[in-house]
Amino acid sequence: MNPGRIITLILLVAILIPGCRRGSTAPPPGILTRDQMIAVLADIHLVDAMIHEETNSPKNKNDLGLTWYPSVLEKHDVTRSQVDSSLFFYNSRPRDFDAMYREVLKKLNQRLDELKKEEQQVVNEE
């Protein structure tokens, strides 16, 4: 192999390798951090579950969504645009997004366990 090709190959590898470390860098400005995104997604899924349990009517579900989803954004001090951009950003990194969703599920299961304990305490007090 000639020296010019070796140098070209080394430069190509040096340029491409840093791009493979997606999880090691902070998200760009305007994108929620991993922890923020996990918290927002967990709360969004809680709202989804509450809406599903509250009514069967599509119109009522829509009305509840218009009321409850903004409260999630307000709670986390984020905008819809930030959440949408962050979803797009993390969705383009499937491994990271999958790991984040495992954390979301973990948070939701912890909350479910807390609710079951609270319910059991109420039953035991009766």
Based on the number of CB atoms within 10 Å of its own CB, is 47 exposed (0-12), middle (13-18) or buried (19 or more)?
middle
**Which CA distances in Å does 111 have to 7, 40, 77, 98, 116?**
55, 14, 21, 20, 9
pLDDT at 55 over 90: no
pLDDT at 29 over 70: yes
Residue-wise pLDDT tens digits, 84-120: 999 999 999 999 999 999 999 999 999 889 888 888 8
Query: What pLDDT does 79 receive?
Result: 93
Dihedral sign (CA 63, 114, 98, 19):
positive
The domain ranges of the chain are 28-125
Assess contact for 92 and 33: CB atoms under 8 A. no
Work out the pLDDT band at 78, boundaries 50, 70, 90: very high
Q: Does residue 25 or residue 7 have the better pLDDT?
A: 25
Q: Does residue 36 or residue 47 have the better pLDDT?
A: 36
For the chain, give the percent of residues with pLDDT over 90.
42
Query: What pLDDT does 118 receive?
Result: 85
Q: Does residue 51 or residue 74 have the better pLDDT?
A: 74
Query: What pLDDT does 13 receive?
Result: 47
Instruction: Give one DSSP letter per residue of 10-67, joined into a string.
Output: HHHHHHHHHHT-GGGSPPPTTSPPHHHHHHHHHHHHHHHHHHHHH-S-HHHHHHHHHH
